[in-house]
Amino acid sequence: MTTTATRPAEESSSPVCVCLPVDDRRNLVGREAGMAARRALKLDGIEGHVIIEVPEVIMSITSSYILGLFGPDLQSMPDLDSFLRRYSIQVENSDCAHHILLAFIRGAQRGLMDRGLESGKAA
């Protein structure tokens, strides 16, 4: 069973589906690892709606990984709804889906809040 967090995309083009890269790790941690995944997925070259697939082997993801993966996007987004319109998260492991989806939401919220603090705006 696949669990998804998303908002309807406003664009009419088909979404692009990418799968998080995995190696022998079951836990995705660290900003550097998230940045490496961003480069591997070539997210900067994708326009429109993106579906991020989280493979079944992944048990957890940290907010620092999320910040590395989505940091540049979060710098330019006004709110969480904008993030969820750009990205859908599909989790293949139903046992961990709630935890992983929550990590994506919290990581995005943290990135949005950090952006506001760095620019001197209220978050």
In order, the DSSP letters of 105-117 are HHHHHHHHHHHHH
pLDDT tens, residue by residue, 19-48? 998 878 899 999 999 999 999 999 999 999
Q: Are 83 and 5 in contact (CB under 8 A)?
A: no
pLDDT tens, residue by residue, 90-119? 999 999 999 999 999 999 999 998 865 554
Residue 77 lies in a domain: yes
Residue 52 lies in a domain: yes
Of residues 92, 107, 99, 105, the one with CA closest to residue 17: 92
- At residue 59 the predicted structure's pLDDT band, cuts being 50, 70 and 90, is very high
Residue 46 lies in a domain: yes
Residue 1 lies in a domain: no
* Domain range enclosing 82: 15-118
Residue 9 lies in a domain: no
pLDDT of residue 123 exceeding 60, the answer is no
Residue 3 lies in a domain: no
Count structural domains, the chain: 1
